[in-house]
Structure 1
């Protein structure tokens, strides 16, 4: 089983080769951003191994592209870019997984081409750029699928094509107009159905493309397309909120964007948080982690524990680094892996948790069984969870808990400096109606239902 789901598999049978095997697995894990498998036999657990390899740092750099091949591919791409009259850049999760976020953002800046991400790719592009237009999809406040269909060139970076990430395969660009940048190759398709494919890592290729591009010589839009969404305008157009206004799914995710700051790592659990998070307007240098493939509920709480631990280690190495770990978790998902809260407390990690309490599995209610008991969950006293899992009351590790049903209550909580910038665990229970969901989610489910019928 492990062979099909991991990049490298190692069985540590010999003390003389075990260190090199472990190093090989770690390097593969970092380079390819995929799991690896190391098998440790029971009779090898206490075996002594040479320590000499520890004095040499591991090399995580990728092998250089073939220079001649890279030059040919770059020339072809630059030619396509210069010939294009209506170009578009679509960024998917591969941009972050392949460690090419810097190159991608440089491309977006240099070309000035209209740019969007997929749901899974959100957070990979600087959302403060004027030519960034949010998540590309078939539903939402501003749909521009028709405009993209008329584009003569799509630079498709790091594609992850599955039904969730492509709105049931409706947002995959037309192959004949697309240049695909994948983990270890680039493919340029032609109008006649043929395509050229080069075995190249996209990072080196994009750097060469950038050196060959002259931004001033690029074809400019006579009139920049006005039908593309303006993210800052979406926020400013929201109606003025009153203190007594209830917290509603369709506006909560946009408004909470004002709480984010550069350096934050924001995590959205499968369900209404993951879908609602597509409406976030993120500051510069912000990372968003969501689930765009398996949609396994409960994953994000344990994942956020790992992120918070990594954040602490990185800050210890670089005191100028800043950023918070912020998790949006549903009540049903929380009940799947709530025990991870004990690890967070045990490790004394700094984290902010917004727990969305909508009284059960809202997505499942929308799909089938609005009032069915199998979509109900036990009414936990969530704010007592930190105490239950061992949070100390002697001040050695600060825990803050609060509940909000209205915007006035929420703003009073999150505007306090000790909540925004304090240490320890800060947990807010967000009370919402059980059938309340982002409009985009309701439309998605309607679209999926129509496609399946």
Structure 2
């Protein structure tokens, strides 16, 4: 039912856009190619980089890739493979709000290679456009035995696969409908924060279409909340807050940033002074040096002071929750439904009551206006400072317990910090990050190797926005899956700092790179042949790491840098160790119930 209502709302938005377009005068109508129309729309959305891999269905002179390369403001970022390109589009969209990531692949082999990256963006609600260059419209109808097919005339099988991991799809079958289809899926992409799929036949790329629709901006406006239901919901929330005697804790999660309500949430917090905590997926949604911010809540994995404060509150105002296993400490939240209000992009839950089609984007400003009267009482609630001291340890070895708080002192305002699935994701959770830092991780989908491609996209977006350094933390095992993309970073003059945690991960590392080969030779192997564009280091103990982190030249990130951090292979961050134990218990309990 909910999916049907969402689809209807999307259709209403599309029809409204169509009416605006039809109302334009035809007089003086200009003609441009379908490719240029699409690129203009992407330019309007703030896209300045398109990722992908050339293929014979998108590479010829009349085909889309050439139009990208000729565009004055959008750059073609050629990737080493389609999976990395999809990861890069994901990272780009996460760091560049109000824009989208774009990946271009060829038919069949290319789009299937990218589909895992698109699935991750779908899972974590990241707006990405996947453009697949496909055979001509005639070939799609006659279905000859073409290369890149399954050899059984099922040319639609790849589109059907894309339907499983995208929110909206379009096949540009004729120029009459082409511009409307492009607008439709792009509106879905930006308004519903999910990937979309565009199938672009070779003979459609240079077809001429009208420019008139380009005068109407793509709509980001969400369907309005029903005013009567919204007013009732507001009354119910105020009543519950009053019953809780203002002992309210705000818990922010991933959908705060995914659905563009960060400003509304900040206004709410400033007006009310309610204490605020974050989930792992919501990390840096709120500046972590904000004086009413208490840290990361992960159920039973939380630091004891955080766990006690959140779970003892009389009411939790949860905003944009995504209650996955890792995000909730393996489902160990100890918060009764009777003590919970949840705000989502498409519904509100007040205790056991569910109010569909009441979106938080429009609700939050009205709620803030009515909750500001509780500020005085809320200000009396104590919030422990979120901090993590660097421990004093007898050993000179670099331990997980030492490494994460120490690199925490290295971070700066506006840094973009990317962490890989596993050790890095969990190690950094307890580390307070400076204001305006952007934390990028893939905790829900957890595709190993995602972080390298994502760092490429994040670095390009950070450069566009004038942000600070881009810093990647990744394990030696994960790095092997997507390591080729370091060459792309070097080629485009990007300068991320890469901390590679070498804890003797996969044995394949020694076999692939040579039994005595070092990670520090990697950047010269992958593009920096004369060693002038990059710098590599190995740190094996605390003094070596301290010296490096205190080096101003290293900290300024003037070139791409890789730091091999040697650790014991059995050493594990606190949060990961607890998550593993809870995961085992949860699996055992589930097996018994089954």
Asked if these proteins are the same fold (TM beyond 0.5), I'd say: yes
2:487–2:526: 8 Å Cα contact kept in structure 1? Answer: yes
2:480–2:509: 8 Å Cα contact kept in structure 1? Answer: no
> Offset at 1:408?
2.2
Which deviates more, 344-353 or 82-91?
82-91
Map of 1:335 onto structure 2: 480
Distance (whole Å) between structure 2 residues aligned to residue 452 and residue 143 of structure 1: 28
User: Which structure shows the higher helix fraction?
Assistant: 2
Residue 377 of structure 2: SS of its match in structure 1? coil
Map of 2:256 onto structure 1: 95
Distance (whole Å) between structure 2 residues aligned to residue 160 and residue 350 of structure 1: 33
Change (3 A) 1:356 1:39: same
Change (3 A) 1:57 1:419: farther
2:536–2:561: 8 Å Cα contact kept in structure 1? Answer: yes
Residue of structure 2 aligned with 1:211, choices 364, 369, 382: 369
Which deviates more, 300-309 or 435-444?
435-444
Map of 1:197 onto structure 2: 355
Distance (whole Å) between structure 2 residues aligned to residue 360 and residue 377 of structure 1: 12
Map of 2:237 onto structure 1: 77
> Offset at 1:418?
2.8
Which deviates more, 405-414 or 160-169?
405-414
Which deviates more, 279-288 or 412-421?
412-421
1:136–1:143: 8 Å Cα contact kept in structure 2? Answer: no
Q: Which structure has the larger Rg?
A: 2
Residue of structure 1 aligned with 2:525, choices 385, 388, 391: 388
1:69–1:198: 8 Å Cα contact kept in structure 2? Answer: no
> Offset at 1:272?
0.5
> Offset at 1:172?
6.5
Alignment of 1:33-72 (within 5 A): 33-72=193-232
Distance (whole Å) between structure 2 residues aligned to residue 288 and residue 353 of structure 1: 15
Map of 1:300 onto structure 2: 451
Distance (whole Å) between structure 2 residues aligned to residue 220 and residue 438 of structure 1: 34
Distance (whole Å) between structure 1 residues aligned to residue 415 and residue 309 of structure 2: 33
In the alignment, structure 1 residue 156 sits paired with structure 2 residue 293: no
Residue of structure 1 aligned with 2:569, choices 427, 434, 447: 434
> Offset at 1:79?
3.0
In the alignment, structure 1 residue 186 sits paired with structure 2 residue 338: no
- The superposition leaves residues 126-145 of structure 1 with CA deviations (integer Å, 9 ceiling, x where unpaired) of 21123322111212542544
Residue 70 of structure 1: SS of its match in structure 2? helix
Residue 480 of structure 2: SS of its match in structure 1? helix
In the alignment, structure 1 residue 4 sits paired with structure 2 residue 164: yes
> Offset at 1:52?
4.3
Change (3 A) 1:421 1:50: farther
Q: How much is the aligned-residue C-alpha RMSD, in angstroms?
A: 2.6
Distance (whole Å) between structure 2 residues aligned to residue 274 and residue 217 of structure 1: 35
Map of 1:365 onto structure 2: none
Residue 90 of structure 1: SS of its match in structure 2? strand
Distance (whole Å) between structure 1 residues aligned to residue 406 and residue 560 of structure 2: 23
Residue 213 of structure 1: SS of its match in structure 2? helix
- The superposition leaves residues 195-248 of structure 1 with CA deviations (integer Å, 9 ceiling, x where unpaired) of 1414122122111111223356553476x45xx75323x32xx43478x83211
Residue 134 of structure 1: SS of its match in structure 2? strand
> Offset at 1:308?
0.7
In the alignment, structure 1 residue 258 sits paired with structure 2 residue 409: yes
Map of 1:127 onto structure 2: 288
Residue of structure 2 aligned with 1:239, choices 373, 381, 391: 391
Moved >6 Å (runs of 4+): 373-377
1:116–1:135: 8 Å Cα contact kept in structure 2? Answer: yes
Change (3 A) 1:178 1:444: same
- The superposition leaves residues 84-119 of structure 1 with CA deviations (integer Å, 9 ceiling, x where unpaired) of 133221111111111111222332333232321111
Q: 5+ unaligned residues in a row in structure 1: which ranges? A: 316-321, 362-372
